[in-house]
Amino acid sequence: MAKNKVGPAFNGLDGRKSGSVAGCSYSDANKNSGITWDESNFLDYIKEPKARVPNTKMAFAGIKNERKPRITAPTLSKNDSDGKTK
């Protein structure tokens, strides 16, 4: 099972509301963003988190290389929140 670290684990991200993982510290901006995660929202967010959710405390600058997020994104819907393959 993936563990939450600086941020929440990606397991079970597909369909999860932004700012909803128990035990993780989120900015009000992230909790109130209205985002329900799917591949499209993730790809948009991961390119430039602070542009997608202004006032987030997310320290990650983003992935500018278009190819890297597309390699990462399909794995988001493969596992449930326990890390087991769906």
- Each residue of 35-56: pLDDT tens digit? 999 888 888 888 888 888 999 8
Considering the chain, what is the average pLDDT of its residues?
Answer: 79
Work out how many domains the chain is built from and give that number: 1
| Encoded tokens for 39 | 């591949």
- Each residue of 14-28: pLDDT tens digit? 899 999 988 888 899
CATH at 51: 1.10.760.10
* In-domain check, residue 47: yes
* In-domain check, residue 48: yes
* In-domain check, residue 86: no
3-class state of residue 49 by DSSP: helix
CA distance 34 to 16: 11
